[in-house]
Structure formats: structure tokens, C-alpha cells
């Protein structure tokens, strides 16, 4: 078995009935596809505890892509890219604070 190391970038986007929340995943899909050759978007649901102590439903879209970089060697470049994604998302969603962008190492069996 030959394993190749890659970095997975994930973007967690709230799924709300607002045009900005519909447009952003499409924009990010296009960007990531041009930059890295493709991506996957998955719809998910869960719950969260509101500030008032009520458990509320939570729907999100998770966009992810695997890129041929090494997290240790390319940490600065990856950090700059993920921060740019967060910045674009905050701007598109008018200050939405709950955009999570993560990056971690994955191994592909090639």
C-alpha cells in the first residue's frame, strides 16, 4: 500500500434561507475547483446550545478538498489560504461569526 500525504481543508458554512448563504458555497466550490482541481460539498444537520440555553437545530454545508501540500512544511501558505477563505466568507455573510475553516493531514491510498 502506497500512501500519499495531503492536507484536507474543510469549510463549515451555516445553511440558512438567505441568498448570501446559497451563493457562498457555490462561489467557494468554483474557487477551490480552480485552485485544487475539485471539492466535495456535504449537507449536514445537528444541534447547538443557544446563549439562552435552548437546544436549536443547526443545518450546515461542509465543503472540503484535499491538496498536495504538507502541513508542517507549508503551514504558512495553508494558513494564509484558510484565512482568506474565512475573510471572504465573513464579507459575503456580513460578519457571520460561525464560519469554521479547518486544515489537517490525511493520507490517500494510491
pLDDT(22) > 90: no
pLDDT(95) > 70: no
Task: Return the CATH number at 45.
Answer: 3.30.70.120
Burial zone of 92 (CB within 10 Å; 0-12 exposed, 13-18 middle, 19+ buried): middle
Q: Which pLDDT belongs to residue 69?
A: 94
Give residue-wise pLDDT tens across range 38-94. 999 999 998 988 889 999 898 999 999 999 999 999 999 999 999 999 888 888 888
Cα–Cα separations (whole angstroms), residue 9 to 1, 54, 57? 24, 31, 25
- Mean local confidence (pLDDT), 21-45: 92
Q: Which pLDDT belongs to residue 15?
A: 87
Number of structural domains (the chain) is 1
| Domain limits for position 50 | 3-109
Rounded distance, CA 37 to CA 1, Å? 24
Rounded distance, CA 30 to CA 24, Å? 10
Amino acid at each position: 500500500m502506497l500512501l500519499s500525504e495531503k492536507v484536507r481543508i474543510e469549510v463549515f458554512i451555516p445553511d440558512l434561507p438567505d441568498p448570501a448563504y446559497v451563493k457562498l458555497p457555490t462561489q467557494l466550490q468554483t474557487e477551490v475547483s480552480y485552485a485544487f482541481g475539485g471539492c466535495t460539498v456535504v449537507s449536514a444537520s445537528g444541534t447547538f446550545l443557544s446563549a439562552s440555553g435552548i437546544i436549536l437545530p443547526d443545518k450546515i454545508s461542509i465543503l472540503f478538498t484535499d491538496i498536495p501540500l504538507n502541513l508542517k512544511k507549508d503551514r504558512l501558505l495553508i494558513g494564509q489560504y484558510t484565512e482568506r477563505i474565512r475573510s471572504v466568507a465573513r464579507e459575503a455573510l456580513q460578519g457571520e461569526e460561525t464560519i469554521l475553516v479547518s486544515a489537517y493531514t490525511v493520507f490517500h491510498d494510491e
